[in-house]
Amino acid sequence: MDDDFFLKNATVAIVGLGLMGGSMALALKGHCSRIFGIDPDPAALELALHQNIVDQAESDPAKLLPQADLVILAAPVPAILALLEQLPHFTPHPCIVLDLGSTKRAILEKMETLPARFDPIGGHPICGKEKLTLANAERTLYYAAPFILTPLERTSPRARSAADQILAALGATPILLNPADHDRILASTSHLPFLLSSALALSTPEECAPLIGPGFRSTSRLAGTPSSMMMGILQTNRQNILAALEALQDELALLTSALAESDFETLQATLDSAREKYAWLISKQ
């Protein structure tokens, strides 16, 4: 590989044309030489070509990946793991590989097994919404959002430069983390909120539907995320998510006990502490 990477001259292949991959394609338009889109869904391919989101689109990775300088894996975690196994069969030439997976340990372990011609780096943008299809893609989705990068020991300065150029084109903010810290932190800030939203939706009686307001909508929003997107996350980050659930259950038990015993002094102190903690957490963004 050459020592330098220039995004403006590069052919970028995005595997997965859902919300994240489609939004990235929209944001990268004009910043690279060509954008290829790869997706098994014919409707997504048709929409991507019809709206000029990509320059070429195919369902078969073997038709486009050999021409790519940079491959971006924008799929659910299990699909990324499968693609990393298949990549050596699709791509005979050297290329940089960046993923957008929501957990990192399992993906980076799989990246380590790629042949030497691949130059991999892990990534995870902290943005998105529960509506995941290409029809919901937004050019500004990544703008001003944190974008975690998890380099491997084998990641070259060239791949780091490519990732930095991608993030600059997106307007995202790079944050370096190791995969263990990433998975532990995201269990609390992303994966637990999904389970909490799901539990809230399930525990709410149907008779409440006519009286649902903005508080319920904002708190339960993530329950609208398809389980197909979340199952791989829950499977590959199970231990960290279990620890986050246990911490949440401890806090719920404290609130339950205080309310059951009419200990309103403890209840108010706990809620005041929660408000202070919320304000502190938000202020650090």
CATH number at residue 164: 3.40.50.720
Instruction: Say if residue 251 is in the same domain as residue 135.
Output: no
208 and 79 belong to one structural domain? no
Instruction: For residues 128 and 187, state if they share a domain.
Output: no
CA distance 37 to 27: 14
Q: Looking at the structure, do residues 14 and 121 belong to the same domain, yes or no?
A: yes
CATH code: domain of residue 211: 1.10.3660.10
**Shared domain check, 202 and 241:** yes
pTM above 0.85, yes or no: yes
Through-space distance between the first and last CA atoms of the chain, rounded to whole angstroms: 37
Maximum separation of any 2 CA atoms in the chain, in Å? 70
> Does residue 173 sit in the same domain as residue 191?
no
Domain boundary at 177, 211, 230, which?
177
d(CA 50, CA 56): 11
Tell me, yes or no, whether 162 lies in a domain. Answer: yes
pLDDT on residue 95: 96
pLDDT < 50: residue spans in the chain: 1-2
The pLDDT, as a whole number, for residue 2 is: 47
At which residue do the structure tokens 């202070």 appear?
Answer: 276
In a domain, 45, yes or no: yes
Burial environment of residue 211 by CB neighbours within 10 A (0 to 12, 13 to 18, 19 or more): exposed
Query: What is the per-residue pLDDT for 1?
Result: 42
Question: Are 31 and 167 in a shared domain?
Answer: yes
**Which structural domain, as residue segments, surrounds residue 163?**
7-177
Q: By C-alpha distance, which of 71, 153, 161, 70 is closest to 112? A: 153
Choosing from 131, 146, 177, the residue where a domain stops is 177
Pair (158, 76) in one structural domain: yes
Query: What is the tally of structural domains in the chain?
Result: 2
Give yes or no: residues 170 and 228 share one domain. no
- Assess whether 147 and 203 both reside in one domain: no
Which pLDDT does position 3 carry in this prediction? Answer: 62
64 plus 115 within the same structural domain:
yes
Q: Is residue 2 part of a domain?
A: no
Same domain for 233 and 152: no
